[in-house]
Amino acid sequence: MKFPLRSSPLFFNGTQRAVVDDEAGIRESFTVILRSFGAEVHAAGSARETLELLDKIKPDLLICDIAMPEEDGYTLLNKIRQRSPQAGGNIPAIALSAYAGQADVHRSLAAGFLAHVAKPTEAATLAKAISEVFDS
């Protein structure tokens, strides 16, 4: 599935995205951005909530904070990857982190995230990262 970056705000129309961040304001910001692109958005505030969400829906992309209490994004992605493809185990994932050094980016990619987006970010940066994930 490819999503070319277009000037239309609805270029993700009909897609389902899962946003995971322990900070409600961040979740809301990303939800608003993704909905402005036409995506249906499901938000979770923890690794546990995300796994419960994946039991109910099968989004086509996970955008996940790395630094969360209890279980971080790396642990969450590892648990997701242990699931079958039918249970969401192969969901493409983008890391979301305030830590944006080269070591942080490399660690995210090595953990199985397909891209790393630094927080805070702008809508265009997020859209570009999403498009690149699906164009690769």
For 47-92, the pLDDT digits (tens) are: 999 999 999 999 999 999 999 999 999 999 999 999 999 999 999 9
**CA 78-83-84 angle, 5° bins:** 140
119 falls within a domain = yes
Is residue 6 in a domain?
no
In this predicted structure, the answer to whether residue 136 has a pLDDT above a threshold of 70 is no
Question: Cβ distance 54 to 44 under 8 Å?
Answer: no
In a domain, 10, yes or no: no
- Confirm whether 11 is domain-assigned: no
Kindly state whether residue 85 falls inside one of the protein's structural domains.
yes
Number of domains in the chain: 1
Residue 9 falls inside a structural domain: no
Q: What is the pLDDT of residue 104?
A: 92
Domain boundaries, position 121: 16-135
Q: What is the pLDDT of residues 92-128, one digit of tens each?
A: 999 999 988 899 999 999 999 999 999 888 888 888 8
Query: Given this model, what pLDDT does residue 9 score?
Result: 47
How many residues are present in the chain?
136
Q: Does residue 32 form part of some domain?
A: yes
Mean pLDDT of the chain: 88
Could you give the CA distance from residue 42 to residue 57 in angstroms, rounded to a whole number?
Answer: 9
d(CA 86, CA 95): 22
Q: What is the pLDDT of residues 12-26, one digit of tens each?
A: 777 899 999 999 999
Q: Which of 47, 80, 79 is nearest to 61 (CA)?
A: 80
Identify whether 53 is part of a domain: yes
CATH number of 118's domain? 3.40.50.2300
